[in-house]
C-alpha cells in the first residue's frame, strides 16, 4: 500500500456524559498504531485531539475530562471527526451543548463530506450517529448505531439507509459503529486501511481483542441473536440448536424438543424470535463454519462440523448470506496471518 506523509488528526468531539469507553477504546487503538509504526521506524500516522463545547465535561462514569480544546472553526489538516455515544438516559436530551455541537458539525464538516476527494472523514461510535443525524451529515448513506437507538436514528435520518445488526458500516467518508467495543473494531478497520492489516492485527493482539470483527459481522453474536424474548419453548429449541448445530435437525425433531407441533413451533418462532427455526439453524451453522475456518479448518471440515454435510451446501449458504465463498474468506485470513507472522518475527517486543 502507498505510504502517505500526511498526519491524520483524529478529533474526538466530547459531549456531556459521553461514554468513556467510546472515547478510550478507539483512542488507544490509534495511539498504539503510532507506537507500532515507531517500532518499524515510521513516523506517526495519527494525532489525537479532544474537543468539546466546554473545556471540562463530565463523562458517563462521572470522571471529568478537562483541558478540552474548543471546537475548531475549520479543519486545516486531514481530520477524522469522531462522535461518541451517551447513555440512554441522556441520548434523547437535546441540550444547548448538543445543539451547539450539531450546528458546529453542520457548518464545519457538511461540505467536506459531499466531496469524494476530501481528506476528512466522519466516524461515529454508538449513539454518536444520532448527533451526526441532527447535524444533517448522514445524507442517504448506509449507517448503523447501537441496537437500542436504531429506530431513533431512522427517525432523525430519514434519507439514510440504517443497517440493523452490524458491528460497523463504512460508506465512503462516513463510518459508523454499533457501540462500545464495536468502536475498537471500527478503529482497527480504519487503521488497517491506512497502515496495513499486519499492523492492525498486531494492535488487536496487544489490546487482547480476541477476534477483530469486520463489517460483515453482526452486532450481536449469532448465538445470541433472535433471543430477546421470554418464551420458554422457543429458548429450549434455540438452546438445542446452539449446542448441536451439526445434528441432522428437521422441523419434526425441533418440534419434539419444544414439545409442540411443527406448525405451532413455526408460529412461536416467527412471533417471538422473528425468524423460522430453520433460519435460526442456518445462522448458527454459518457462524460455526466461519469460526472453524478462522481457526484453520478446511472448507470441507468446516462444512462437516457445522452441519452443512458438504462443502457445496456451505458455499451456497455462505454466498446467500455474505456473498463470495468460504474458500476466498479462508485465503484472505491466511494471507493476513502469514503477513502478521512475518512482521512479528522481525519486530522487537513492546
Would you list the domain boundaries of the chain? 8-206, 232-333
Q: What is the pLDDT of residue 6?
A: 82
Q: What is the pTM of this model?
A: 0.68
Q: What is the pLDDT of residue 217?
A: 59
Q: Tell me if 74 sits within 8 A of 62, measured CB to CB.
A: no
Q: What is the pLDDT of residue 346?
A: 47
8-206 under CATH 3.60.21.10, yes or no: no
232-333 under CATH 1.10.10.60, yes or no: yes
> Nearest-CA neighbor of 48 among 78, 11, 18, 77?
11
Cα–Cα distance for residue pair 105/101, rounded to 1 Å: 6
Q: What is the pLDDT of residue 326?
A: 86
Retrieve residue 151's grid coordinates: 429506530
- DSSP letters for 253-314: HHHHHHTS-HHHHHHHHHHHTSS-HHHHHHHHHHHHHHHHHHTT--HHHHHHHHT--SHHHH
Question: Other C-beta atoms within 10 Å of 338: how many?
Answer: 11
Residues 198-243: tens digit of each pLDDT: 788 888 888 877 555 655 555 555 666 677 777 889 989 988 888 8
Mapping DSSP to helix (H, G, I), strand (E, B) and coil, where does residue 74 land? coil
Q: What is the pLDDT of residue 227?
A: 75
Q: Tell me if 11 sits within 8 A of 77, measured CB to CB.
A: no
pLDDT in tens, the chain (350 residues): 444 558 999 999 999 999 999 999 999 999 999 999 999 899 999 999 999 999 999 999 999 999 999 999 999 999 999 999 999 889 889 999 999 999 999 999 999 999 989 999 999 999 999 999 999 999 999 999 998 999 999 999 999 999 987 889 999 999 999 987 889 999 998 998 898 877 888 888 888 775 556 555 555 556 666 777 778 899 899 888 888 899 999 999 999 999 999 999 999 999 988 899 999 999 889 988 988 887 788 999 999 999 999 999 999 999 888 888 888 776 766 555 555 455 544 454 44
Domain 8-206 matches domain 232-333 at the CATH topology level: no
Q: What is the pLDDT of residue 22?
A: 96
Q: What is the pLDDT of residue 349?
A: 43
Q: What is the DSSP letter of 148?
A: G
Q: Tell me if 330 sits within 8 A of 296, measured CB to CB.
A: no
Question: Other C-beta atoms within 10 Å of 80: how many?
Answer: 23
Q: What is the pLDDT of residue 239?
A: 86
Task: List Cα–Cα distances, 140 to 91, 158, 171, in angstroms.
Answer: 22, 8, 10
Amino acid at each position: 500500500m502507498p505510504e502517505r506523509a500526511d498526519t491524520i488528526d483524529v478529533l474526538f468531539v466530547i459531549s456531556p456524559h459521553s461514554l468513556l469507553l467510546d472515547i478510550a477504546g478507539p483512542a488507544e487503538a490509534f495511539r498504539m498504531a503510532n507506537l507500532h509504526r515507531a517500532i518499524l521506524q515510521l513516523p506517526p500516522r495519527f494525532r489525537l485531539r479532544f474537543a468539546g463545547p466546554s473545556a471540562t465535561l463530565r463523562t458517563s462514569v462521572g470522571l471529568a475530562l478537562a483541558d478540552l480544546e474548543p471546537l475548531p472553526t475549520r479543519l486545516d489538516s486531514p481530520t477524522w471527526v469522531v462522535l461518541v455515544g451517551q447513555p440512554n438516559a441522556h441520548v434523547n436530551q437535546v441540550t444547548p451543548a448538543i445543539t451547539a455541537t450539531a450546528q458546529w458539525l453542520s457548518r464545519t464538516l457538511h461540505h467536506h463530506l459531499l466531496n469524494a476527494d476530501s481528506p476528512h472523514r466522519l466516524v461515529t461510535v454508538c449513539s454518536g450517529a444520532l448527533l451526526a443525524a441532527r447535524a444533517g451529515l448522514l445524507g442517504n448513506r448506509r449507517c448503523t448505531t447501537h441496537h437500542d437507538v436504531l429506530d431513533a436514528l431512522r427517525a432523525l435520518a430519514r434519507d439514510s439507509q440504517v443497517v440493523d445488526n452490524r458491528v460497523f458500516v463504512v460508506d465512503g467518508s462516513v463510518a459508523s459503529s454499533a457501540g462500545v467495543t464495536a468502536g475498537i473494531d471500527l478503529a482497527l478497520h480504519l487503521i488497517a486501511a491506512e497502515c496495513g492489516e499486519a499492523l492492525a492485527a498486531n494492535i488487536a493482539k496487544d489490546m487482547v481483542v480476541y477476534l477483530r470483527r469486520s463489517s460483515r459481522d453482526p452486532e450481536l453474536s449469532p448465538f445470541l441473536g433472535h433471543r430477546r424474548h421470554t418464551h420458554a419453548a422457543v429458548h429450549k429449541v434455540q438452546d438445542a440448536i446452539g449446542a448441536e448445530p451439526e445434528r441432522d435437525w428437521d422441523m419434526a425433531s425441533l418440534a419434539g424438543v419444544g414439545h409442540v407441533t411443527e406448525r405451532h413451533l413455526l408460529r412461536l418462532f416467527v412471533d417471538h424470535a422473528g425468524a423460522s427455526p430453520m433460519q435460526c439453524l442456518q445462522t448458527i451453522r454459518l457462524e460455526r463454519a466461519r469460526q472453524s475456518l478462522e481457526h484453520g479448518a478446511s472448507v470441507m471440515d468446516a462444512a462437516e462440523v457445522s452441519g452443512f454435510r458438504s462443502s457445496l451446501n456451505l458455499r451456497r449458504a455462505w454466498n446467500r448470506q455474505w456473498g463470495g465463498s468460504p474458500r476466498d474468506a479462508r485465503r484472505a485470513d491466511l494471507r493476513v496471518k502469514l503477513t502478521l507472522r512475518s512482521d512479528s518475527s522481525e519486530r522487537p517486543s513492546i
